[in-house]
Amino acid sequence: MKLVIVESPTKAKTISHYLDSSFKVMASVGHIRDLPKKNSGAIDIAHGFVPHYEVVKGKEKIVAEIKQLSKKASEVYLTTDPDREGEAIAWHIKEACGLKDPKRAVVHEITKEAVMEALAHPRHIDEDLRKAQEARRVLDRLFGYDLSGLIWKKVRYGLSAGRVQSPALRILMEREREIRAFVPEDFWVITGEFNTEKNSTITLVCDETPAKETEAERIIAAAKKNPWHVIEVKQTEAKRSPRPPFITSTLQQAASSELGFAPSRTMRIAQHLFENGLITYMRTDSTNLSAAALAEIYGEIEKTYGKQYLSPRAYHTKSKTAQEAHEAIRPTSARKRHAGSGEAERLYNMILERTVASQMADAKTLRTKISANIIGKGDAIPNFSVNGSVIVFPGWFAADPGARGEETELPKIMENDPLTLKNIASEGKQTEPPGRYTEAGLIKELEKREIGRPSTYASIIQTLLTRAYVLKNGRALQPTDVGEVVSTFLEKNFEKYISDSFTADMENKLDLIADGKENYVTTLKNFYTPFSKDVAAKAKIEKLTTLGEADKKFKCPVCGSSMDIKLGRSGKFLSCSRFPKCKGSLKIDGAPFEEPKETGEMCPECKTGKLVEREGKFGKFIACNNYPKCKYIKEDPAEVAKRKTGVTCPLCKEGEITERRGRFGFFYSCSNYPKCKFAMKARPTGNICKLCDSLMMEGTKTIPERCSNKDCPNHNPLKAAKRK
């Protein structure tokens, strides 16, 4: 028996279809080892930044099963993903399971040919790639824990910093400050509607936008008083070349702009397509296409569109660190026209269209510009014009119609033809500030500045959203009050470590470790020695409680003193500058807070406080007035009964699973909290998972329930549905 180990059950299922009964394929279900959550003892800095890994909770059964099967196997193949993380997972499986000389089979696309080729020509685990991933993990842990600990002390408990997330947050805050500092300027747009000699209607817009209304009025008066004629009809033929095949960043950008998918959602769907053998590996920065793939694409173009549409092309990425030996994201076969249904189908079709179009002829368009003005030189005014465009040869648009855009065909008109003015009007407008970054825009900016790598873009944005440093306002990413405070603190005290140059340089050093050109210990030592000193040097700075002075028009409602801007649990508010001597406060807009109303009841917990009605983040509630010394909150028995599920806690066997509200929304936990800290994301159904003995919880409309253990295959609705 030959044992093949992959990460996911779906990937294992797909590969097993290609192999005969002499092979056994099993899944590690992601990482089986990681650094412990507690930082103490996680990394031995003094002895060369040695990480101390532990088996991920819940993976003990998988480790035991791999050990047992490997003893019976004549060969063990580690067929994890073809990137640094995949190399690291393969190494962890080897170390945790005590595998002796396992073979590393690298598969960039899960097709029968690719799998058989990889198994026929395996290699050893690439120690340089593995060390590069380990260096990234250790680096991020050292950076995050040291800075986050300082932020907890100096700003607020529970906040965090990250080696790549913090520069991304800084970029968003830089744009936010540009928006705030922007001073709008007035301008007027003048539009005229004309009739041609052949009674066609044409709309022309003034080429200049006057900054004063009086100038706009002068132009309109001259336009009405004088006759008009065409002064120029300019036609030019333009070509539009196809875009390169997708890489990770461009796939995320296009899916966000065209399909409305968040980057994390895009990568989840792409992972599903890859594991089912429909596309090549989706974490890549190369635009290359293999010779076999190109031959198939050429054949499909000639067959579907005709030989005149074929135009073989080679693309090269602009990134200096791109791994050109890899391939772009493409369908495993250009002949496959469908990939299931729903969002998977939409993403697959976008990849297919982009791949085929990349090898097609330029699209040709005919652009026309018509300019007109008044006859006579007495009242000089700017030209009025309109632009049109029609496609004369579709080229690659035939395969990628979404990129075609709208055509604007203008009426047939000649130079010096007279025009009759029907209507003319001006509209006052103001210049607008730069727009906030969308997810697609931020990914493009991160890639341009070489911050992060293809595999990290989605997680960077997801972390910012999860931490509530950023919220989505429509499609735009808007920093929150908390995000602004954290970014300001880091920019003021650790500007070097969240700068573009430092972050990009560190990514380059990690790439050099992967290439075997940089030493693991030296790289980490050169970073951590000055970094730890800089963090220690800031230990004595004052706690950041005040964000600045409030507008002078706001006065303390208690003593009349000036107000300061401060950050609270629910965002920014105004506090008396004499705090703590005076505890007067106002909302950030200057409106008063509602005074707590006494209920006439004593606190049953501390026995000394009185119960008062307060207004909180989630509405009104009744609590002890001795807060924060006493944290008693009175709850409505009827509401408490609604939150109970009737399911006994599987951890302490005493409490009942109850609905709670946390900083990231609703969740379910044991009623004995904090003594028992069992928690799960969705309401338990009361059933037990047959695979891992964990509680099952409510799922989606199509998947009624799923396992609460995130490491269990039944936790993923798509995989659970396939298994059923």
- Mean of the pLDDT values across residues 632-643? 77
Q: In the predicted model, is pLDDT for residue 78 greater than 70?
A: yes
Q: How far apart are CA 426 and CA 192, in angstroms?
A: 9
Q: In the predicted model, is pLDDT for residue 720 greater than 50?
A: no
Q: DSSP of 633-688, one letter per residue?
A: EE--HHHHHHHEEEEEPTTTSSSEEEEEEETTEEEEEETTTTT---EESS-EEEEE
Identify whether the C-beta of residue 58 lies closer than 8 Å to the C-beta of residue 709: yes
> What six digits make up the tokens of 580?
């703590």
* pLDDT per residue as tens digits for the range 172-203: 999 999 999 999 999 999 999 999 998 899 99
Of 589 and 305, the structure prediction assigns the larger pLDDT to 305
pLDDT band at 617, cuts 50/70/90?
low
Per DSSP, helices labelled H in 240-384 are: 248-254, 263-275, 291-304, 342-357
- Mean of the pLDDT values across residues 450-479? 90
Token match 């791999």: residue? 66
Where exactly are the structural domains of the chain? Answer: 2-125, 136-181+443-537, 186-241+363-430, 248-357, 546-633, 638-723
Strands (E), 528-655: 546-549, 563-568, 571-576, 585-587, 597-602, 610-616, 619-624, 633-634, 644-648
> Residue 346, SS3?
helix
Q: How far apart are CA 598 and CA 656, in angstroms?
A: 32
CATH class of 2-125: alpha beta
Helix (H) or strand (E) holding 365: strand 363-374
What pTM was computed for the model? 0.80
* pLDDT per residue as tens digits for the range 215-246: 999 999 999 999 999 999 999 999 999 999 99
Domain 186-241+363-430 sits in which CATH superfamily? Topoisomerase I, domain 3 (2.70.20.10)
- Mean of the pLDDT values across residues 318-337? 73
Percent of the chain predicted with pLDDT > 70: 96
Domain 136-181+443-537 sits in which CATH superfamily? Topoisomerase I, domain 2 (1.10.460.10)
Identify whether the C-beta of residue 425 lies closer than 8 Å to the C-beta of residue 465: no
| pLDDT of the residue at 324 | 42
The yes/no answer on whether domain 248-357 falls in CATH 1.20.1440.230 is: no
- Averaged pLDDT score across all residues of the chain: 89
User: For strand 103-104 and strand 75-78, is the pairing parallel, antiparallel, or unpaired?
Assistant: parallel
| pLDDT of the residue at 319 | 58
Q: How far apart are CA 178 and CA 355, in angstroms?
A: 38
Which of 77, 145, 157, 281 is the catalytic position?
281
pLDDT band at 121, cuts 50/70/90?
very high
| pLDDT of the residue at 234 | 96
pLDDT band at 717, cuts 50/70/90?
low
Active site residue 281: yes
Q: In the predicted model, is pLDDT for residue 716 greater than 90?
A: no
Q: How far apart are CA 420 and CA 197, in angstroms?
A: 8
Q: How far apart are CA 137 and CA 461, in angstroms?
A: 18
Q: At what angle do helices 60-72 and 84-97 cross, to 10 degrees?
A: 80
Fold match between 2-125 and 248-357?
A: no
Q: In the predicted model, is pLDDT for residue 340 greater than 80?
A: no
| pLDDT of the residue at 718 | 57
